[in-house]
Amino acid sequence: MKVKARLAATLALVSVLMSGATAQAQLGGIDLSQIPALLDVEGRRTQLEKAVNDAVLAGRLSSADADSFKKELNRIKDLELGYKASGKFSIWQKTRLGLELDVISSNLEKSLGERKEIGLTDIAGKQADLTARLNAAQTAGRLSTFEVNALLADLNALKTKESTFKAASGGALSNAQTLELALDLDKLSSKLESQLKARSGADVDYAARRTELRTRLKDLVTTGRMSQSEADTYTQELNRIESRETSLKATGAPLTVADQLSLALDLERVNSALERYTGATATGMPGIDAMQQAIEKKIADNQAAGKFALNQYAELKQEFDRINQVESNYRADGSLSDSETLTLSNQLEALDKRIDTVLSSNAPTPGGGLSAKQSELVKKLDSAKAAQRLTDAQYQDFKNKLDQNSARERLFRADGVLSDYETLSLANELDTLSAQITSSLTALPDLSTTRSALEKKLQDGLASGRLSPSAEPDVRADLSRVSQLESAFKSGSGNLALNDEQIAHLSREYAAIGARLDKSMAALPDVAAKKTEVTKQITEGEASGVLTAAQVQDMRKELDRIATVEASFRASDNAFTDWEVMTVNRDLDRLNNDIVRLKAAHPVAPVQTANAPFDTKGHWAESYVGQLTQRSIIGGFPDGSFKPDDGITRAQFAAIAMKALNVPPAAGAAQFKDVSPTYWASKAIAAVSQAGLVTGFPDGTFKPEDKITRAQALVILAKALPSGLADVSILNSYQDGSSVPSWAAPSVAKAAKARIIVSYPDPSQIRPNLNASRADVAALTYQTLVNLGQKLPVIKVGLEK
C-alpha cells in the first residue's frame, strides 16, 4: 500500500508540475508526508538497491530477478549522473526519475515471495522488524541520526526488560510478561510511524538558484535579448519568492515538503520563462546540422580521393562521431541552448581546421620547396643560437654553408627554371646541412635534474653548516619564481611543452641561482692543510716544552681518531661530502683550540720595555710599542713621545707596513694623483700599493691623510698572512662580530683565525668601525709578525683567551 501511495503522490506531483496554477493549489489535497524524500533520487535509489539485496538474502527474490532490478537501477543512476554532468538536474528531471523509481519499487513488491507474518507474541520477530525499519528510515533520510538513536534506546530498554523477566523466572516468559512486552513493542512501532509521517524533505539552496537566475537576467539584458522593463518584471518575481521564503522560515521551523516544492516550482516557472528568451535567438547561432553535413561530406570526399591515410581517416571519423554523440546528449531534454550550440560549433570548426591541416601535410611538395627548406634551416639555426646550443663559430660556419647553397640556386636559375637534377642536388645539400646542425647541437639540460641538484645542494649546505639558515628563504623564493616561469611558458605554448629557447632561459636562471648559492656558502676548508698545521703545532709545543708529554700523547691520539673518521667517510661511498668535510674540520678546530689554549696558559718571561717611549709607560700597549721601537719597525716623534692614543693616517700605516713586512721598494713612483713624488711617504705608499697590500680609491686618489679604521688595518695585515680563507662564522665568537662590514668580513675572519686581533680593554670585541689608534696598529702589527714566524716574546695583552 505504501508503494501505491507513493506512486499516486508522484503522479499527482507530475500533473501539478505540468499545470500553470500556483503551487499551493497544485499541491492541495495531497498528503505530502507520503512522499518520503521525493526529490532525493540518489537516496531512494540506494534504498531500493538495499531492498533488492535484502530480499535476495531473505530468499524472497531470485538472483535472476535481482539482476533485472539492479540493471534498471543502474540505468537510473546513469541518467542521474548524465543530468548532473550537464548541469540540468532540475526538479523536472528529479520528478521523472522519481516516477521511474516508483515503478521499480512497485514491481519489486510484486516480485517478492510471501512474507512470514510476525505473530502477536513473537517478541524476537517484532524486535528484528523494528531494527530493520529503523535502519531503512535512517538510510532513506526519513529519520535523523538523533531520532534513530532515541528509538534504538527505547528498543534496547525493552530488550533489557525482557532479560530481567527471564532472569527472574528461570529463562521463560509468562503469558502476562509476553503480552506486556508485545504491547510495548507495538507502541514503539506506532511511535516510529508517527515520526516518519512528520518528516519534511531535504532543504534546497534557493538563494543559489535565485542568484543564478538573476545572473541570467543580467546577461539577457546585456546581449539585447530582453528589455530592461521585462527584466524588472522577473526581478520583482524573484524578490517576491525570496520574501515568501523568508516569511516561511521566520518561525524557525524547517520548511515542509509542500513549502519546498512550492518555492522550487515558482523558481522553475521563472527559469522556463528565461529559457524561452534564450531559445528565441538560437536561430542566430551557427547552423549545426549544416556544418555537420558539410564536414561529413568533406571527410568522405577526401577519403574517396585517397588524400587520407587509413589511420588519419579513422581518427577524423572518430572525432566526428564523438561530436554527434555530444549533440545527441544535449538534445535528450529538448532543443539546444545557446551555450550548447556554441560548444558544438567550436568543436566542429576545430575539426574542420584539423582536416585542412592533415590535407596540407599530405599534399606533395611543389618545385619551390627549396625556399621552404632554406627558411626552415634559417629558423633552426637562429633558434639554436638563441638557445645557446651552438657556439658563435658553429653558427657562422653553418650560416656560410647556407648562403653558399642559396648562391648555387641563384646560379642554376640564371638560365631559367631549375632542372630535376639541380633541384635534387640543392635539396640533398640542405638535408645534409640540417643533419650536421642537429648533430652539432649541445644536449638540452634536464630542468628537473637541475632543480633537484640545486635542492640537494641547498639541503647539504644547511646540513653541513656552510650555508646560513637565513639564506634559505631567498634561495627557495628564487626556485619558486623559476618554477612559476616554467609553468607560464608551458601554459602559453598551448601544448604544455617548452621550446629550446625557453629551456635554455630556464637553465640560465637555475645556473644563476646556483652561482648565488655557491657565493653564499662558506668555502670548504682544506682539512689536509689543517691537519698538517695541527701536527706542526703539536710538534713545536712538544719541542718548546709548552706541552707536556701526556698532553702531546692525548692530542696525537685525538688526531688519529679524526683521521680514522675521515677514512671511514671516504670509504663509505668513495666520496667526501660537504657535511663530512665540515664535521672533520670542526673536530680539527676543537683540537687546535685546545693547543692554543694550553700554549696561552704556559707561563712566559716578562717582556723588556726599557726602550719604550716615555708616554707609553703603564699604557696597555707598552710591551708592543717597546718591542717594535727596539727593532726600528715603528718610531715615535722628535720629542721622544709616541702618542699611543692618537689616530693614524693611511700614509703612516703604509710606512709601518713597509718596514714591518719587509716590503721591497717600488719600481717607480706612486700612481696616485694626490701623492706627489716629494711627499714624505711617497716611496712607502708606492711599495705597499705595488705589493697589493693597499689600494686606492676609484677616483685615482689615495687620501694619505685620512684616518684608518681597525677593519681597514686588519684587511691590509690579513693580506700578509699565509694564503687561505677562514669561515666567517668565526666572527660569531665576538660580541660585535655582526658589525664587521661585509666587504671586510673574509679578511677579518682570516685575522681572527690567525689570532692577530688585539682589542683592549675588551678582547671579546673587534670594534671594526672605530678609527685605529697608534697603539692598536702597533699591537696588530706585532701579532702579525708573531704569526709570520718571527721570534718575538709572547704578549697576551688584548688577546682573546
DSSP 704-747: TTSB-BHHHHHHHHHTTSPS----GGGGGGSTTGGGS-TTTHHH
Cα–Cα distance measured from residue 507 to residue 499, given in angstroms and rounded to the nearest whole number: 12
pLDDT of residue 440: 84
Assign 212 to helix, strand or coil. helix
Q: Amino acid identity of 111? A: S
Confidence class for position 131, pLDDT limits 50, 70, 90: confident
Residues 6+ apart with CB under 8 A from 102: 3, 6, 7, 10
Q: What is the pLDDT of residue 2?
A: 45
pLDDT at residue 139 greater than cutoff 90: no
| Distance in angstroms (rounded) separating the CA atoms of residues 218 and 236 | 14
Instruction: Measure Cα distances from 638 to 166, 306, 619, 635 in Å.
Output: 126, 112, 20, 9
pLDDT at 724 over 80: no
Residue 645 has pLDDT above 70, yes or no: yes
Q: Is the pLDDT of residue 266 over 60?
A: yes
pLDDT score, position 218 = 85
Q: Pseudo-torsion of CA 88, 94, 97, 99, nearest 10°?
A: -150
Strand, helix or coil for residue 200 = coil
- pLDDT at position 11 over 50: no
DSSP state for residue 669 in the 8-state scheme: -
Torsion angle of C-alpha atoms 476, 477, 478, 479, degrees rounded to 10: 50
Pairwise CA distance, residues 679 & 697, whole Å = 18
Task: Say what the pLDDT of residue 141 is.
Answer: 56
Helices 774-787 and 622-630 meet at what angle, rounded to 10?
70
- Confidence grade of residue 129 (pLDDT, cut at 50, 70, 90): confident
Cβ proximity of 219 and 240 under 8 Å: no
- Pick from 129, 135, 105, 106: nearest CA to 117: 129
Please determine, for residue 376, whether its predicted confidence score (pLDDT) is greater than 70: yes
Rounded to an integer, the average pLDDT of 414-434 is 75
Q: What is the pLDDT of residue 287?
A: 65
C-alpha cell at 82: 548524465
The reported pLDDT for the residue numbered 19 is 43
Give the confidence band of 603 by pLDDT, cuts at 50, 70, 90. Answer: low
Q: With cut-offs at 50, 70 and 90, classify the pLDDT of residue 282.
A: very low
The residue written with cell numbers 619551390 in the block is: 368
| pLDDT above 60 (res 29) | no
Cβ 130 vs Cβ 192: under 8 Å: yes
Q: Residue 369 — pLDDT band, cuts 50, 70, 90?
A: low
Burial call 274-296: b when 16+ CB within 10 Å, e when fewer: beebbeeeeeebeebeebbeebe
Q: Is the pLDDT assigned to residue 757 strictly greater than 90? A: yes
Which triple of cell numbers denotes residue 423?
633541384
Q: Is the pLDDT of residue 568 over 80?
A: yes
Residue 578's pLDDT is 80
Grid coordinates of 486: 616554467
CB within 8 Å of 171: residues ≥ 6 apart: none
Q: At what angle do helices 472-493 and 500-520 cross, to 10 degrees?
A: 180
pLDDT of the residue at 702: 92
Phi, psi of 189 (to 5 degrees): -65, -40
In this structure, are residues 651 and 704 in contact, taking their beta carbons and an 8 Å threshold? yes
pLDDT at 286: 45
* pLDDT at position 61 over 80: no
Residue of 87 and 390 predicted with greater confidence = 390
- Residue 633: other Cβ atoms inside 10 A: 19
Please choose, from the candidates 362, 363, 389, the residue with its C-alpha nearest in 3D space to the C-alpha of residue 445: 389
The residue with greater pLDDT, 144 or 267, is 267
Extract the C-alpha cell encoding 117: 507474518
- Confidence label for 715 from pLDDT (cuts 50, 70 and 90): very high
Alpha-carbon distances of 744 from 521, 655, 712, rounded to whole Å: 16, 22, 8
| pLDDT at 424 > cutoff 90 | no
Residue 527: the pLDDT is 84
Question: What is the per-residue pLDDT for 55?
Answer: 75
Among 689, 691, 657, smallest CA distance to 674 is for 689
Contact 108, 55 (CB under 8 A): yes
Q: Which of 49-63, 216-230, 518-532 has the lowest mean pLDDT?
A: 49-63
107 confidence band (pLDDT: 50, 70, 90): confident
Q: Cis link prior to 665 (omega < 30° from 0)?
A: no
The pLDDT confidence band at residue 27, using thresholds 50, 70 and 90, is: very low
Find out whether 462 and 472 touch, Cβ atoms under 8 Å.
yes
Q: Which of 123-127, 129-133, 697-701 has the highest mean pLDDT?
A: 697-701
Q: What is the pLDDT of residue 609?
A: 63
Q: Are 595 and 555 in contact (CB under 8 A)?
A: yes
| Share above pLDDT 90 across residues of the chain, in percent, rounded to a whole number | 14
**Distance, CA of 584 to CA of 455 (rounded, Å):** 24
**What is the per-residue burial (b if ≥16 Cβ within 10 Å, else e) of 688-709?**
bbbbebbebeeeeebebeebbb
Report the chain's mean pLDDT, rounded to a whole number: 80
- Cβ proximity of 719 and 693 under 8 Å: yes
CA atoms of 22 and 26, how far apart (whole Å): 6
Measured CA to CA, the distance from residue 388 to residue 159 in angstroms comes to 85
Looking at the predicted structure, is the pLDDT value of residue 303 above 50? yes
User: Which amino acid, 410?
Assistant: R
Q: Which long-range contacts (CB under 8 A, 24 or more apart) does 525-528 make?
A: 525/581, 525/582, 525/585, 525/727, 526/724, 527/566, 527/581, 527/584, 527/585, 527/588
- Tell me the sheet residues that pair with 773: 647
Rounded CA gap, 759 and 773, in Å?
11
User: Which cell is 311 given?
Assistant: 589511420
Check whether 49 has a pLDDT greater than 70.
yes
In this prediction, residue 649 has a pLDDT band, given cuts at 50, 70 and 90, of very high
Q: In this predicted structure, what is the pLDDT of residue 789? A: 79
What pLDDT score does 569 carry?
83
pLDDT, residue 113, reads: 63
**Confidence band (pLDDT; 50, 70, 90) for 586?**
confident
Beta-carbon contacts of 34 under 8 Å, excluding residues fewer than 6 positions away, are 2, 5, 6, 9
CA 650 remoteness from chain centre: 54
Average of per-residue pLDDT across 712-737: 88
Dist. CA 403–CA 429, nearest whole Å: 12
703 or 134, which is more confident? 703
Q: What is the mean pLDDT of residues 179-198?
A: 76
Report the pLDDT value the prediction gives residue 416, as an integer from 0 to 100. 64
Long-range contact pairs involving 289-297 (C-beta distance under 8 Å, separation at least 24):
291/345, 291/348, 291/349, 291/352, 292/320, 292/323, 292/324, 292/327, 292/348, 295/320, 295/348, 295/351, 295/352, 295/355, 296/320
Closest CA to 77 of 107, 50, 42, 53: 42
Give the pLDDT confidence score for residue 346 in this predicted structure: 82
* DSSP line for 379-401: HHHHHHHHTT-S-HHHHHHHHHH
pLDDT (average), residues 423-441:
83
pLDDT in tens, 671-696: 899 999 999 999 999 999 998 888 88
Which ranges of 521-577 does DSSP label H, i.e. alpha helix?
Answer: 527-544, 549-573
What's the pLDDT at 23? 38
d(CA 112, CA 107): 9
Give the Cα separation of 656 and 499 in Å (integer).
62
**What is the percentage of the chain residues whose pLDDT exceeds 70?**
83
